[in-house]
Structure 1
Amino acid sequence: MDPIHSNRPRILIVGAGGVGGYFGGRLAQHGTAAVTFLARGAHLQALKTGGLTLHSIDGDAHIPVDARENIDDLPPFDAVVVAVKHHHLPSALQRIAPAIGAQTVVIPLLNGITATPTLQRRFPHATVLGGIAFIGSRVEQPGVIGHTAAGSLTLGVWPAGEGSSVERWLTLMQQAGIAAHRSRNIQQAAWKKMVWNCGFNAFTCLTGQWVHELLIHPEQVDTVRSAMIETIAVARAQGVRIEDTFADQTLESTRTGGAHVKTSMLQDREGGKPLELDAMNREVVRLGRAAGIPTPVNQTLCALLAPLERGD
């Protein structure tokens, strides 16, 4: 069915990579929404000509999809899911402006802790929720998403609270078979994901390891834990309460439930793409410096990755 004329909720997926491609694909597969992907390049062409293929631990699928490079001629969407890299958000703001009306719900699924406030400032007329994706996924080749671990979404009113928009979109995602959850403190949940990211992303980017390979070596685990503990201290300085035991809880839950992951930063390094250090470890260093909290492990990780950022 033409997504423009469907009676189903219309959802725009901005960024059809590992995150947007997977969750948008599940929504399109189950028919709970009329889904449009905003994409570019070879990936866009593959989606338009051959559809979207999911290679997933939760079941493979091949899905015909509506994929476009431009949505200027379309009416505003019911929901816009923003799943671009953090450094692509400024350019995405301009591209998605025609898609966002007064009734649109915007759901950011970016790394870091600044995307939702940025979108709230840019689109004050819309409802901008907080969103967190926890998934091991990547573009295996144009038109193909590989999904190797986890696969959940968390939504909430930013920074905390409850709202009817959260319930509506949670229900729709759950109907599509997505493990979607509500958080009454989504800012805290975003910082908890930041703890995972600052521990694992930079380190695996440096070593070239998948997460399960890193976890074999105690000395590496100790360094990851130290980066996590620094991140927790900085979160607390921002008024976000995270318990002392959370670093060890995160390491254990990763070992038992989701370690077969190639982190997004390692994927970016291998693909010759910019690294998301500014949204992760470097943001912790910046906020730590402002609060008078030392962050030597995160600072060292940033320094070691700086030559890769520059292309040295």
Structure 2
Amino acid sequence: MREFGYQRASDVAGAVALLGADPDTRFLGGGTNLVDLMKSGVERPARLIDIRELPLDEIESTPEGGLRIGATVTNGDLAAHPEVRRRYPVLAQAVLAGASGQLRNMATVGGNLLQRTRCGYFTDVTKPCNKRVPGSGCPAVEGEHHNHAILGASGHCVAVHPSDMAVALTAFDAVVHYETADGPGKLPFREFYLPVADTPHRETALPPGALITGVALPPTPVAARSRYRKVRERASYAFAIGSVAAALDIRDGVVREARLALGAVASRPWRAVAAERVLTGAPSGPETYAAAADAELTGARPLPHNGYKVTLMRNLMVAVLTELAEEAAR
């Protein structure tokens, strides 16, 4: 590991100024992803700015009826918060599905959104990787890719985004708030993560020198009946091979509103817009749910060793939607 300096920030403006003074600096929250990448040599910052003492660790109701979640709120505190559990149970479920209890007690909301892919070629500095070294190639296309992308990928990168939390936030139109030297700003989730295209090293639309200060969830009544389901290769601490965040509002046998996002299928959390369109206004039932899944997955482009994900995600989407409908009927 490269030697690095360490400094603790006392306020948001000071933290932003410290980063702006040295582009070879990184913000340190829980460190559960950054420190791993430093150990492997993927990240080599000259200095870390510890932001854990900044006043960004609160979860508050907004005047409109949504929630604002500070960037340094730990994943453990987020999952345990009563208003998160009541208004957005899918978010609590997604957080609890990720990592271990020890990691959740360290990891922060802001850091979770910025975590890097777990692709083995990305984390191995002896191998080429367009995300790590632009223009060096993507060996996963013809190599090990059984857990890689089936949607929205390109020949430049087929890795998937690892966050469970971000999938739930994607389904419910979260907004990322940040601070720069020029003042505050915000990005809706639909714009926060960039398409992989031919620039996989550019993962988010955050401006240079930005510090995430929080995430806002708008009031979304349908979220009160929501669910997160994650499939992984072992029952305990493991990254997803596929996941679904979903919510349904069903009245008089008709789907009035649907929210659906997919995880571990693309380089970013995947909002299932095509599936939502099929669901909205359609009669509730297995045929509708299957048609919605098929509409979303028609654009899937699996690689030779991850075609199983198409079937897995179709079955998972139908199963979760069916469970939500059955719950609504009780």
TM-score band by shorter chain is: 0.3 to 0.5
- Larger proportion of helix: 1
Larger Rg: 2
With normalisation by structure 1, the TM-score equals 0.33
Q: With a CA cutoff of 8 Å and minimum separation of 6, indicate the structure with the bigger relative contact order.
A: 2
